[in-house]
Structure 1
Amino acid sequence: MQARDIMVSPVVTVGPHASVQQVAKILLERRISAVPVVDPDSKVLGIVSEGDLMHRAASGTERTYSWWLGWLTGDAELATDYVRSHSAKVQDIMTRDVATALPETSLNDIAKLLEERQIKRVPIVNGEGQLVGIVSRSNLLQAIASAKPKLEVSLPDAAIRRRFFDELKNQPWAHTLNVNATV
């Protein structure tokens, strides 16, 4: 299966000048956990997730630093955190380094990308970089839940045993020399 087979389309998006409050409302109303930020040509500029909204001055959840941690962290990081917690515009808080994939990307590659980047969703873009869909972890779970079983139980026992051993022979970790199976 490919990303195009499970992606959600059309995608709820916002522009870079949307307000942080508008994004919070969209996330709540649509029951989603992130929105891609796109330009007028639907090219992905960034993404805003619930995690980007966790430490906000408006909710009293902005990060506080002890004097020694502030000293170790440095002024640049403290200033960045201040802007992220106080800014009213999406362009100031969005994650800019967004991992994207093409519609032809295999689900295996999507799963690897989610795991390696420790992210929860991947925007799907066409060859021109325009957003055409999004794949989240839950979309992968839906693919698993709706998958047909690989093995038909209506087969005779001998056929099931043969398929089992044929599959094991293709696995580099399986040492079938001294293995027996009863079906």
Structure 2
Amino acid sequence: MQISPHVVSDVMTRAVVAVGRDAPFKDIVRLMERWEVSALPVLEGEGRVIGVVSEADLLPKEEFREGVPDRFTQRQRLSDLARAGALTAEEAMSSPAVTVHGTTTLAEAARIMARRNVKRLPVIDGEGKLEGVVSRSDLLKVFLRDDEELTEEVRHDVVDRLFPLSADHIRVEVSEGVVTLTGWVDSAELVSVAERLARAVEGIVDVRCHLAGGSGVR
């Protein structure tokens, strides 16, 4: 049985396009278009991530093309105004980069993306060197796991472990990622735990728990 990919290193993209700090503005745009990405890690030395340059970092050059805005906008958009004059990756990038390690859980990576409003995260090792990139689409790969694989994992990691005495009386069915648990259990107090653990299996969309025990039916 294949183990669920619980961490970033299981789903990240390892072949990554990156730029150095001196990369010219137009080269950055060309790379983004060629590789169909919205952001590029900026590296120095032997591959240490020092920042990320994104489409949002480059757009001020076009936005403020017609001249300096009013004073209110200037006060509110100082960093964007500085980026409008950027000629290199170092001048345009956001730094320090928002990064994760390969051992970061997928749930935590998703929280970081949502909290920091980014679509991609460079993945670094203990020395800050680039190992890969994880994107929103990478985090969604877990939902491509087939129902049979999910059924086996819920059976093995949830049912067999929580209810060794009554596992034969429990039916596990998964359809389109939705798992249904039905049957009799010897420990009714563990039913809520079973539901929570089944929901935590990577790729499960929802849980329908209909397990009966000594204290009644859920």
Structure number with the bigger relative contact order (C-alpha 8 A, sep ≥ 6) is 1
Q: Which runs of 5+ in 2 are unaligned?
A: 1-5, 156-167, 172-180, 197-208
Match of 1:134 in 2: 133
Aligned counterpart in structure 1 of residue 64 of structure 2, from 62, 65, 68: 62
Query: Aligned equivalents of 1:126 and 1:163: distance in 2?
Result: 47
Runs of 4+ off more than 6 Å? 163-167
Match of 2:145 in 1: 147
Aligned twin of 1:122: 121
Q: Which digits, 9 at most, give the CA deviation of each residue in 1:106-140, with x for residues without a partner?
A: 11111111122221111111111110101010111
Give 1:89 shift. 1.0
By how many angstroms is 1:167 displaced?
A: 7.7
In 2, Cα distance between the equivalents of 1:148 and 1:166? 30
* Letter in structure 1 aligned against 2:145: A
Matched letter for residue 39 of structure 1? E
**2:57 touches 2:80 (CA, 8 Å); kept in 1?**
no
Partners of 2:87 and 2:119 lie apart in 1 by 24
Structure that is richer in strand per residue? 2
1:27 and 2:32 aligned = yes
Provide the aligned length of Structure 1 versus Structure 2. 167
Contact residue 24 and residue 89 of structure 2 kept, 8 A: yes
Q: Aligned letter for 1:62?
A: F
Label 1:151 to 1:65 Cα distance change in 2 as closer, same or farther (>3 A): same
Q: Distance in 2 between matches of 1:163 and 1:37?
A: 56
Per the TM alignment, residue 163 of structure 1 is displaced from its structure 2 partner at its CA by 8.4
Give the TM-score of the pair, scaled to structure 2.
0.65
How far off its partner does 1:10 sit?
A: 2.2
Q: Which amino acid aligns with 1:107?
A: L
Matched, 1:12 2:17: yes
Question: Secondary structure of the residue that 1:23 maps to in structure 2?
Answer: helix
Cα RMSD, aligned residues only? 3.1
The gaps in structure 1 that reach 5 residues or longer are: none
- Could you tell me how far apart the structure 2 residues matched to 1:122 and 1:35 are? 10
**CA displacement at 1:95 relative to structure 2:** 0.3
Structure 2 Cα separation of the partners of residues 88 and 151 of structure 1: 53
Aligned 1:65-104 pairs, distance under 5 A: 65-67=69-71, 69-70=72-73, 73=75, 78=78, 80-104=79-103
